[in-house]
Amino acid sequence: MQKLIEQALAGNQRAIARLITRVENSEEMAETAVSALYPHTGRAHIVGITGSPGSGKSTLVNELAKALRKRDQLVGIVAVDPSSPFTGGALLGDRVRMRDLSGDKGIFIRSMASRGSLGGLARATSAVIKVLDAAGYDTILVETVGAGQAEVDIASTAHTTLVIEAPGMGDDIQSIKAGILEIADILVVNKADHPGASRTVRSLKTMLQLGQGMSVRHHGRLMHVRAVSPNGNEGAWKVPVQETVAVKGEGIEALLDTVLAHKAHLQATGEWLEREKVRSRQEMEQLLQARLMARLEMKVPAEEQMALITAVAERKIDPYTAVSQLFTLISSH
């Protein structure tokens, strides 16, 4: 394991792949690897790509990776599919589409499918991102197949979040899921070669204006605030709406410029560290939760847990008292 970590730190792709497999398969390995790698992380720009199914996320990731390579960056790609228990369908498609990237030593691609629970997948994904960060990848593109909570999770993992829409999907204000606009740092209207693209751009811009000043991200939580004064909020990032035709590689350079501008903005304003704090807090909460649950399983037999649950359901005992009892049990040596 130690040797594998050293080889991964040196950028050896086979070692990175093997290390990732171990980290994915065992919580213990993840702990060992992350502890060893953590001091080497924190350099990579993590970019989340999310949005409606079929909007062209994978094609766009492919093009962004190529553009980043032209700028001499090392690129990691992580494709997360919480819905698929197998490395099948969609991910196989991604691999075919990303074929023109393979063979480039400056790119590392990893697909991740469901690990049974969304929490498990989130933990594994964040460990994999750390491996790539420590191994020296400059930009890590993380594609999530949009499924509500996963999008939000990725948004708090990423420094920069791209939300991808396509014409015909974003026209109807009702059809845009609440919450998806709030997580976007950059909105992309892909398939701009399709009719109706400019209409989609217009309605997204209108929605952004309507939403402006109504909610802000504060310590990772969305908070509603009163509308800011007309000139207030100076220096704040204004979410741009950009058009691309990913299949033809159009608009990619401009999009990449915006992605890098957002990175520079985060660094100049100190928001980079703020986002790292949000991520760190969330990660620690998740680990603490997992550890508490593991301790519960160890200390309190399933029948005993069930007896308490039944007692609460039958109103023999209230939930607070039940949890106090559990706490006493898991705190005991």
Q: Which is nearer to Mg ion, 241 or 246 (CB)?
A: 246
What's the closest the beta carbon of residue 220 comes to ligand GTP, in angstroms?
26
What's the closest the beta carbon of residue 56 comes to ligand GTP, in angstroms?
3
What's the closest the beta carbon of residue 143 comes to Mg ion, in angstroms?
6
Q: Which is nearer to Mg ion, 58 or 190 (CB)?
A: 58
Nearest alpha-carbon partner for 184 in 264, 117, 238, 122: 238
Which partner, ligand GTP, Mg ion, none, binds residue 247 by CB below 5 to 8 Å per kind? ligand GTP
d(CA 177, CA 53): 13
- In angstroms, the Cα distances linking 329 to 176, 181, 190, 285, 322 are 46, 44, 54, 21, 11
What's the closest the beta carbon of residue 98 comes to ligand GTP, in angstroms?
10
Long-range contacts of 206-215 (CB under 8 A, 24+ apart): 207/173, 207/176, 207/181, 208/181, 208/239, 208/241, 211/181, 211/182, 215/182
Q: Phi-psi bin for 168: left (phi > 0), alpha (psi -120 to 50), beta?
A: left
What's the closest the beta carbon of residue 174 comes to ligand GTP, in angstroms?
21
What's the closest the beta carbon of residue 287 comes to ligand GTP, in angstroms?
29
- In angstroms, the Cα distances linking 48 to 124, 151, 308, 322 are 16, 9, 42, 40
Which partner, Mg ion, ligand GTP, none, binds residue 55 by CB below 5 to 8 Å per kind? ligand GTP
Site residues for Mg ion, 50-79, by CB under 5 A, read: 57-58
What's the closest the beta carbon of residue 125 comes to ligand GTP, in angstroms?
16
DSSP state of 248: G
Strands (E), 166-305: 186-189, 215-218, 221-224, 241-243
Question: How many chain residues touch Mg ion (CB under 5 A)?
Answer: 2
User: Taking every pair of C-alpha atoms in the chain, what is the biggest distance, in angstroms?
Assistant: 67
Q: What are 117's strand-pairing partners?
A: 115
Q: Which is nearer to ligand GTP, 93 or 319 (CB)?
A: 93
Q: Which is nearer to ligand GTP, 30 or 246 (CB)?
A: 246
Interface residues toward ligand GTP, by CB under 6 A:
53-59, 90, 145, 190-191, 193-194, 245-247
* Tokens read off for 208: 């952004």
For strands 45-51 and 160-165, give the pairing.
parallel
Q: Which is nearer to ligand GTP, 83 or 267 (CB)?
A: 83
Contact between residue 144 and residue 61 where contact means Cβ atoms under 8 Å apart: no
Q: Which is nearer to ligand GTP, 163 or 246 (CB)?
A: 246
Q: Which is nearer to Mg ion, 146 or 251 (CB)?
A: 146
Which partner, ligand GTP, Mg ion, none, binds residue 53 by CB below 5 to 8 Å per kind? ligand GTP
Which partner, ligand GTP, Mg ion, none, binds residue 245 by CB below 5 to 8 Å per kind? ligand GTP
Q: Which parts of this chain interact with Mg ion (CB under 5 A)?
A: 57-58
